[in-house]
Amino acid sequence: MTSGQHLLPVERAGHRQLHCVSSQTVASLIRGQFGPAVEDFLIVDCRYPYEYQGGHIKGAVNLYTESQIQQAVYQDHPSDSRPEDEGSSPRKLIVFHCEFSSERGPHLCQYLRRLDRCVNAQVYPNLHYPELYLLLGGYKHFHASYPDLCDPCGYVPMRQREYREQLHGFRRTRPTRQRRRRPIRIHQRTTR
């Protein structure tokens, strides 16, 4: 399937490289309001397990590491399968989110995009997963708007006190991302 026009309505947001969708759009997707155009969809909850267990979007799967993403999405696609073998419709969609969709969700969404492009380098722009989305406002906003679509109907913040040890454990085991730092440029005034 080639990347092209997206099925879901995309919102403008701070994540310029990602296609963001509203809580209302995800609720419509869950309720089947996109009809037969959507063959299948997956909601990926990128929060830590204690957050997920405290409440999540119905049907969401909890994948919070790059290796989990790789294992889960490519188990259906053997390394020798090509995206053009799948046909062009109906579509398979993946929606990522974390608590606010500001760090973990966007990171894993971008990771899957890079992985898919790498796996399909010979046939790019054909991709296995051309329609990746990020839920605007994350689970916090979705839960506030659609508690009936959450199971269980709860919300555990990442920084909730009683889970502090678990949070530190997840952060210790997470590989650190090396960020390139731009050199600081000092502008000197010249006097004449």
- The dihedral over CA atoms of 64, 70, 73, 77, expressed in degrees to the nearest 10, equals -170
Count of C-beta atoms within a 10 Å radius of residue 77: 17
**Strand pairing report for 61-62 and 91-97:** unpaired
Structure tokens at 129: 């997963």
Structure tokens at 160: 């909730």
User: 117: part of which helix (H) or strand (E)?
Assistant: helix 104-119
- The dihedral over CA atoms of 32, 47, 91, 110, expressed in degrees to the nearest 10, equals 150
- Is there a catalytic annotation at residue 153? no
Q: How many Å apart are CA 73 and CA 75, to the nearest integer?
A: 6
Q: Which of 46, 98, 109, 150 is catalytic?
A: 98
What DSSP character marks residue 55? Answer: -
Annotated catalytic sites, by residue? 98
